[in-house]
Amino acid sequence: MNDIEIDRHDLALLQALQRDGLATNAVLGGITHLSASQVSRRVQRLVEAQVITRYAALLDPHAVGLSVTAYAQVILERHDKTRPADFEREVALIPEVLECFAVTGEVDYVLRIVAPDLGVFSELMMKRLLTLPGVAQVKTNIAIASVKETRELPLDHIARPRQPHRRVRFVG
């Protein structure tokens, strides 16, 4: 990954693409006041620099029958060299686990899990998650309502950094 300079046009492109990844270069040009060919070159540069890592369609979980969202806090038995790696390798193979973060504090990992219903979720917990290598304890919380969900990253800090970024430098 190379360092990259980002200007206000790049920021506007990134914000627009986070809202609508299918926006055409002409639409993006209207937003950023650039020609479609300039937009194309800038987007390609952002992809090559791995600022844009991929494009994806975001699905509504309820629309595809995944009405249960749960958060699991996992504590491992002990922390030797192999246990976390074994756990991480195995948890990555469970499609219902959408996110897994190694965290600091009282637990070792926090997972976001989806399932069609509580019965399927319970079975997933008992037969898959609790049997993963090194798992000592799992505490779960079932989401009862979504207050805020977004995949859009805030980008205002790039134009007003308090300290220099390692990879991204704003060139006003």
- Strand, helix or coil for residue 26: helix
Quick check: 129 and 72 in contact, CB under 8 A? yes
Fold of 4-57: Arc Repressor Mutant, subunit A (1.10.10)
Q: Residue ranges per domain, the chain?
A: 4-57, 68-142
CA atoms 50, 52, 55, 57: torsion sign: positive
pTM of the entire predicted model: 0.85
Quick check: 30 and 15 in contact, CB under 8 A? no
* Fold: same for 4-57 and 68-142: no
Q: What is the DSSP letter of 152?
A: P
CATH 3.20.20.80 holds for 68-142: no
pLDDT by residue, tens only, the chain of 172 residues: 568 899 999 999 999 999 999 999 999 999 999 999 999 999 999 999 999 999 999 999 999 999 999 999 999 997 666 679 999 999 999 999 999 999 999 999 999 999 999 999 999 999 999 999 999 999 999 999 999 999 999 998 888 766 655 667 777 6
- Strand, helix or coil for residue 95: coil
How far is 71 from 92, CA to CA, in rounded Å? 16
